Amino acid sequence: MFQSPEYSNTLSLKLSEVLEDVGVNEKMVMRRRRAFMLKENMETVERRASDGNFTAYCFGSQSEGTTTLGLNSDADALFMDYDFNVIRDSSEWKQNKINLLMIKDENVTPGYCFLQVLPSDEHLFETNTICRDNKGRILLKSTCLTGILEGTERHGPSNVRPEKDGYKAVDIVFAFPCNSWQQSTSHLLDRHSIGGWPTSEMIRYAASNDCFDVGASSKISTYPELEWRISTSLGERCFMFNLNITQLHCYVLMKIMLKSFLTPQRESALSSFMCKTVVLHCIQNADRNIWRKNNLFTCLTYCLLELLCYIQNENCPHFIIPENNLMAGQFSPVDKRYLLRKISDIIQSDGRCLLHISIDDIGNRLQVKLQPNRAIPHNLPTRRFINELGSGWLFITIARYFSGNTIWLLHGISNGHIANIKQFILKLANYSVHGHRLEQLASRYLLPSLYSTLGSMMVSSDVQQNTAIQYNALKWLSLGLNSDVTSGRLKLASVLYCVGFLDNVEFILRQTESRYKCYIVESLCGCWAHPWSKQSSEFDRKCYELKEDSINQITSFCVRFVQEEVNCVPRELQYEMKRSTQDDMQHRSFGEEMWMNFAVVDSLPFLYFLQYKTYGHLQRNQDRQQALCNLINITMSGRNLGHRETALNLIGQCMEQESKFNAALLSYMLSLQLRRRNNSAKFHICNLLRKYASRLNRFHFILCLPFGTKILKIGEKMLELWRSY
């Protein structure tokens, strides 16, 4: 049955439908590509505006759109440092750059190189990152870019941030720019292509981009510490972006089948990059007319046969640098026999193995397609549901990344002069006008939060100097209103609250609350990788309908105040700027160094807190009590709050103002349970003990509560610190 041409045609069509059902369709492929290209440009624009000379790239299956939810592919990020210049001869030497000479000789594995440090730049490198070879050349070790980043694990040349709490794994690589393309592309131009692919236009476009030198050696290298791999990821991405949907289906199926049918012990012997290389060779060597949906199964078999041949010969030529054998030293004779047997079994099954694939329920889905009368399992997600889920994940990923990037921006401008911040904004604004489309979009995402910060800093300075509020400050604040659904408006409300315009504050808060309720909004915080609960199905549905440039219409970020905005921050929130003792400071990580110097609070808790304070000043006691109830409810039950301990500290201070001291102490204790260190709850507890030290019998109950004795000890030890604070 599986061998008949008619059934092969039917199987191909049904298999194509299944892959489109699980997210490998033209709409979702393009959506993934646009999302990760936006992320790439957001990182690049931010670093360049900060006077950095880095360029960020997003590579791999996520950015190509060649993955599914079941494959759960990680995200690949590469950062290129353009302060370096890799050259082949003196004619390419550049001033104000650290020039490295590329060396390819008999000691270097094909597709790799040595990097020689020129004598004039030797003093710029630490002695443990360079060495002198037997020819007297000063060579740069490939380990010089392999320091372990915070929260990552070392995997070869990459820093891998493992999947955790709803965050996908990220593979981070640092590299140097390299101009060896001209030699590499000559192989493509001269190579015979039956299918007329890649076209000369593709090759010229790919050749106009840089390639990279990555700190990784070949498996068969004689000098593993000195070899640098020549990466042509930009060219490969160009080729992948020019594949049709059937060619993409073929590549995705190869990855799914290898992951499904190879044991974990052998799976690492064959990488998805090898699968990609096999597919690219097959596309080049076959007539372009075979790559049709009704011929998918034949194309898949063709690619698997080609892979089998490569394994047999232990030679998989790199598509752009064919002298680089990707399989050199990759597997043992035992692994080779195993792979040959398993892949032969897959080919000889004539498609039957497809029915046993559990990833994305492909086997069940295919059986339903091939047997129309078969009952559809009730738990089999529809194509629409999967597309919505994938769209929601993409929006969350980009929004979370945008929120985290803003922390870096605020950290960069903190302790800076207003004139310097304006200059920074001017650079971003230049990208928003004169950059290419994605640079413009990335800049327009980043600018509003900076507008709000600048306006708030100007008002804070005016308050400090006891001068009239500048009109321009309010204008900057108004330009930042649409950074997202809430945070820009809440920053304006906070500023107006601190200068006493309470009626305006009440109006803005009421309007902001209405916007949050009217829209399908997801709360997001990019300050740290807090546990993430899956977004709502309504949010996913809206994301599927919207384009990537609408992220700020359905997301709510936390509200951040730098130290220079202190006079625009309610007194109760100012404590968050001084959350750490000297001992606490020793337990901060690099990422926490940035946001923990700010006052940061989630949007909805801050909205209800401002309502509570505003209604209190306006003598609207019933509304005030309702706002306090809302603050408590959202703090205790709200999903995906990144700063729940801060909201609990605000509740505690509200309870103190209500003379409900037992409830206040309980709030601070709950806050400490969430974050033991770098938490201003310690200071608030000390404040309570300081106020009522002569009447500690009021707090006899705390000895019966969990951690009650510890809290008393904290208070005793920190009482003196609190007085000085």
Burial (CB < 10 A; 0-12, 13-18, 19+), residue 395, is buried
CA angle 320/321/326 to nearest 5° reads: 105
CA torsion 648-653-655-658 (nearest 10°) is: -160
Which segments in the chain show pLDDT lower than 70? 1-4, 51, 146-166, 180-192, 263-268, 413-416, 518, 590-592, 692-725
**Which residues have CB under 8 Å from 461's CB, separation 6+?**
418, 564, 567
Ramachandran quadrant class, 502 (left: phi over 0; alpha: psi -120 to 50; beta: rest):
alpha
What secondary structure letter does DSSP report for 640?
T
What secondary structure letter does DSSP report for 45?
H
Query: Angle, to 10 degrees, between the axis of helix 26-49 and the axis of helix 383-413?
Result: 0
Tell me how far apart the alpha carbons of residues 559 and 453 are, in angstroms, rounded to a whole number: 10
What secondary structure letter does DSSP report for 376?
P
- For 160, other C-beta atoms within 10 Å of its C-beta total 19
Q: Return the pLDDT at 146.
A: 62
- For 693, other C-beta atoms within 10 Å of its C-beta total 11
553-575: b or e for each residue (b if 16 or more CB lie within 10 Å)?
A: ebbbbbbbbbbbbbbbbbebbbb
**Token reading at 142:** 């490939």
| Phi, psi at 618, each rounded to 5° | -85, 5
- The beta strand positions in 494-585, using DSSP E, are 522-524, 555-557, 559-561
- The H or E element that residue 166 is part of is none
**Token reading at 504:** 């305006």
Is residue 76 helix, strand or coil? Answer: strand
Tell me how far apart the alpha carbons of residues 424 and 413 are, in angstroms, rounded to a whole number: 8
**Token reading at 568:** 């625009």
Residue 211 amino acid letter:
C
296-306: b or e for each residue (b if 16 or more CB lie within 10 Å)?
A: bbbbbbbbbeb
**Token reading at 560:** 């951040």
**Token reading at 459:** 């008002």
Q: How far is CA 506 from the centre of its chain?
A: 36
Residue 122 amino acid letter:
E
Ramachandran quadrant class, 447 (left: phi over 0; alpha: psi -120 to 50; beta: rest):
alpha
Tell me the CA distances in angstroms from 471 to 345, 455, 474, 637, one per residue in order. Answer: 75, 10, 5, 40
Kindly report the three-state secondary structure assignment for every residue of 34-92.
Answer: HHHHHHHHHHHHHHHHCCCCEEEEEECHHHHCCCCCCCCCCEEEEEEECCEEEECCHHH
Ramachandran quadrant class, 532 (left: phi over 0; alpha: psi -120 to 50; beta: rest):
beta
Is residue 323 helix, strand or coil? Answer: coil
Half-sphere exposure of residue 188: CA atoms within 13 angstroms, side-chain side: 28
Strand partners, 80: 55, 175
Query: Angle, to 10 degrees, between the axis of helix 537-545 and the axis of helix 383-413?
Result: 90
Tell me how far apart the alpha carbons of residues 569 and 573 are, in angstroms, rounded to a whole number: 6
| Phi, psi at 212, each rounded to 5° | -130, 150
- For 60, other C-beta atoms within 10 Å of its C-beta total 22
Q: Return the pLDDT at 1.
A: 38
Strand partners, 557: 524
Tell me how far apart the alpha carbons of residues 393 and 551 are, in angstroms, rounded to a whole number: 12
Location of structure tokens 């049918």: 261
**Token reading at 434:** 């004169």
Residue 22 amino acid letter:
V
Nearest Cα neighbor of 560 from 486, 629, 470, 613 is 486
Q: How far is CA 434 from the centre of its chain?
A: 26
Q: Return the pLDDT at 249.
A: 97
**Token reading at 525:** 């915080």
Q: How far is CA 257 from the centre of its chain?
A: 28
Kindly report the three-state secondary structure assignment for every residue of 274-301.
Answer: HHHHHHHHHHHHCCHHHCCHHHHHHHHH
Nearest Cα neighbor of 61 from 45, 53, 72 is 72
Cis omega (within 30 of 0) for bond into 198: yes
Tell me how far apart the alpha carbons of residues 660 and 654 are, in angstroms, rounded to a whole number: 9
Tell me how far apart the alpha carbons of residues 470 and 477 are, in angstroms, rounded to a whole number: 11
Tell me how far apart the alpha carbons of residues 295 and 287 are, in angstroms, rounded to a whole number: 12
Size of the chain in residues = 725
Tell me how far apart the alpha carbons of residues 23 and 16 are, in angstroms, rounded to a whole number: 11
Tell me how far apart the alpha carbons of residues 544 and 590 are, in angstroms, rounded to a whole number: 36
Using only C-alpha atoms, the chain has a radius of gyration, in whole angstroms, of: 30
- 36, 56 contact by CB (below 8 A): no
Query: What pTM value is reported for the model?
Result: 0.88
The pLDDT tens digits of the residues spanning 664-704 come to 999 999 999 999 999 999 999 988 877 766 555 544 544 44
- For 22, other C-beta atoms within 10 Å of its C-beta total 25
DSSP readout, 208-255? TS-EEEES---TT-S-TTT-EEEE-HHHHHHHHTT--HHHHHHHHHHH
Nearest Cα neighbor of 236 from 211, 219, 217, 255 is 211
Tell me how far apart the alpha carbons of residues 481 and 668 are, in angstroms, rounded to a whole number: 32
End-to-end CA gap in the chain = 82
